[in-house]
Chains A and B, each alone.
Chain A
Amino acid sequence: MTLPEGFFPRIGFIIQNYYGSFLSGVGNTMLIALVSTFIGCVIGLGVGIVQTTPTDKEKNPAAYYIMAVIHFILNAYVEIFRGTPMMVQAMFIYYGSSMVFGIDLSMYQAAFLIVSINTGAYMAETVRGGILSIDPGQTEGAMAIGMTHYQTMTSVILPQAVRNIMPQIGNNLIINIKDTSVLSVIGVMELFYTTKGIAGAYYTYFESFTVTMVIYFILTFVCSRILRAIEHKMDGPDNYELVLSDALTMGEGNYRVRKPESNTNRDLAEKKLRSSAESAIEKGNQREGL
């Protein structure tokens, strides 16, 4: 095999000969990024939920002090992993785990671990912010019908918080797709490491990394579009259908609702219904002498 002359022929040559390596690099990168983002979000949710759980010092002092210790540990986790470079963490954990703890992590175990706990540290803060940003009225509304803190969190606060932090989850996924490249320092065969190998074979650094650059961009762009679509789906339909029964009772007055021509035009339908409801209430009020 001889390397052709010229930029584009060389790119063609690289793709033709190394597409298998590129694909496996992409596979590893995406696997690590997707799985670790998911695990990181789970960690972040857990930490964020614990950090926003109220404890009553007077009612349950033991729980209060245990929580204080847990809070301290979680804060340390967040600060340390946000405050140090992932590349350094990769070296530290990969080599440190066997030397200090005698745990023999495989390269890939280390990769998933590092990216997950890194994402977790960022997500913890995001989740905490997401939970705190939900109007306290939502919590009060839930408490007022007797829901426990746990029920309030799972059915009211978290669904809203998760929706609000979806852009941040997307952000983290994109960062992770790019930042898995630092795992090359411990020899993980992701896209960057693979490209280095390909480039080295014929000294085609510029051409190989052009290909890789495009691949990274396609990966992040497609992911961000998919996430945007998921967000849109989570918001639910913009319109709602009125459910019309024959007679609805309102106040003292009975009124009938004529079926509006079209459900898609919600403003029109709503206006019609509202005005008929209002006139019914007015009638009711007049009867009562309001």
Chain B
Amino acid sequence: MSEHVIEVKHLSKSFGDHEVLKDVDFNVDHGDVTSIIGASGSGKSTLLRCINLLEKPTSGEILFHGSSITGHDTDPCKYRAKVGMCFQSFNLFNNMTVLENCMTGPVKVLKKNKEEARSTALKFLEKVGMAPYINAKPRQLSGGQKQRVAIARALAMQPEVLLFDEPTSALDPQMVGEVLSVMRQLANEGLTMIVVTHEMAFARDVSNHVVYMADGVICEEGRPEDIFDNPKDPKTIEFLQRFTNR
């Protein structure tokens, strides 16, 4: 058996006295699509941000291909170049065009030459259906278009793992579809993804691993069919009931 791509071990995170993550453990293997679901404030974003080192864990460890990334000797920039992230609020660079957004990382971080970066950027923009908009500025795009560009920007780094923090929560229902369809395609192509989402259909149909979080702990995790059809924990049952009753 091959090693895990990401291992989260006894991860805890506090903001002041407020303990947001309590002893969280979970693993991600190559090609896994992991969905993290749970109520608002349960610590899903914090967990994802810890995995990308945007937050510093209070205790515990995160391993990437077996070696710790939470120690002092890891370069967070090198690590983040391999583990990308897409945000709820897109966070596209407002001073750049769509194409520049997708070229900056490869040129500045991966030190690719402009031509090469341009053709990779175009390839991924085409994949998310945003190639016609390469000259647009982010403020000229709709939410769904912004998120697709953000995905292309992350893909242009050719990351091993891509993290998504509620990529569709800020979107109108009609735009949700266009973003989910891109993510579904990425999943089919075998990209390793960790997705925090409130889209239960996506979690159920696309992911192969579902993690349910409540109050900073992982309540239950497993295959989507087990979690959705046979939840064991009363909290999970209650949470899912609220979604199906809607």
User: Which A residues have a C-beta under 8 Å from some C-beta of B?
Assistant: 58-59, 135, 137-138, 140-148, 151, 155-156, 159-160, 163, 236, 240-245, 248-252, 257, 266, 273-274, 277-278, 280-282, 284-285, 288, 290
B12 contacts A by Cβ under 8 Å:
no
Is the beta-carbon distance between B181 and A285 smaller than 8 angstroms? yes
CA distance in complex: A243, B52 (Å): 34
CA distance in complex: A215, B136 (Å): 43
Is the beta-carbon distance between B135 and A241 smaller than 8 angstroms? yes
Q: Which residue of B lies closest to A241 (CB)?
A: B135
B131-172 contacts to A, CB under 8 A, are 131-137, 140, 142, 145, 150, 153-154, 157
User: What 10 A-B pairs have minimum CB-CB distances, sorted nearest first?
Assistant: A141-B91, A146-B81, A250-B129, A145-B105, A137-B91, A144-B85, A146-B80, A240-B136, A146-B109, A159-B95
B84 contacts A by Cβ under 8 Å:
yes
CA distance in complex: A282, B133 (Å): 20
Q: Which of B78, B91, B135, B180 contacts A243, CB < 8 Å?
A: B135
**B140: chain A residues within 8 A (beta carbon):** 240, 266
Q: Which residue of A lies closest to B79 (CB)?
A: A146
Is the beta-carbon distance between A236 and B137 smaller than 8 angstroms? yes
Known: A145-B154, A159-B95. A277 touches B133 (CB 8 A): no
CA distance in complex: A231, B12 (Å): 47
Least CB distance from B136 to A in Å reads: 4
- Supply 22 A–B pairs (Cβ within 8 Å), ascending by A: A59-B72, A135-B91, A137-B87, A141-B93, A143-B54, A144-B80, A145-B105, A146-B82, A146-B105, A156-B95, A156-B104, A159-B95, A163-B95, A240-B135, A240-B140, A242-B133, A243-B135, A251-B182, A277-B129, A277-B178, A285-B181, A290-B201
**A148: chain B residues within 8 A (beta carbon):** 77
CA distance in complex: A280, B108 (Å): 34
Is the beta-carbon distance between B80 and A145 smaller than 8 angstroms? yes
B201-217 contacts to A, CB under 8 A, are 201, 205
Least CB distance from B182 to A in Å reads: 7
B92 contacts A by Cβ under 8 Å:
yes
Is the beta-carbon distance between A147 and B181 smaller than 8 angstroms? no
**B85: chain A residues within 8 A (beta carbon):** 144
B127 contacts A by Cβ under 8 Å:
yes
Q: Which of A144, A163, A250, A257 contacts B87, CB < 8 Å?
A: A144
Least CB distance from A20 to B in Å reads: 46
Chain B interface mostly helix, strand, loop or mixed?
Answer: helix
**B76: chain A residues within 8 A (beta carbon):** 143
Among A248, A280, A282: residue with most chain B CB under 10 A: A248
Is the beta-carbon distance between A147 and B52 smaller than 8 angstroms? no
Is the beta-carbon distance between A143 and B127 smaller than 8 angstroms? no
Known: A137-B89, A242-B133. A145 touches B104 (CB 8 A): yes
Known: A144-B52, A290-B177. A252 touches B104 (CB 8 A): no
**A245: chain B residues within 8 A (beta carbon):** 131-132
**A257: chain B residues within 8 A (beta carbon):** 132
Is the beta-carbon distance between B177 and A281 smaller than 8 angstroms? yes
Known: A137-B89, A140-B87, A240-B136. A146 touches B78 (CB 8 A): yes
Is the beta-carbon distance between B181 and A281 smaller than 8 angstroms? yes
Least CB distance from B131 to A in Å reads: 5
**Residue-wise interface mask of B (121-132) relative to A, using a CB-CB cutoff of 8 A (1 in contact, 0 not):** 000001111011
**A250: chain B residues within 8 A (beta carbon):** 128-129
B26-56 contacts to A, CB under 8 A, are 52, 54
CA distance in complex: A129, B221 (Å): 45
B232 contacts A by Cβ under 8 Å:
no
B244 contacts A by Cβ under 8 Å:
no
B184 contacts A by Cβ under 8 Å:
yes
B185 contacts A by Cβ under 8 Å:
yes
Is the beta-carbon distance between B131 and A240 smaller than 8 angstroms? no
Least CB distance from A146 to B in Å reads: 3
Least CB distance from B161 to A in Å reads: 12
Is the beta-carbon distance between A249 and B132 smaller than 8 angstroms? no
CA distance in complex: A59, B174 (Å): 46
**B82: chain A residues within 8 A (beta carbon):** 146
**A282: chain B residues within 8 A (beta carbon):** 177
B94 contacts A by Cβ under 8 Å:
yes
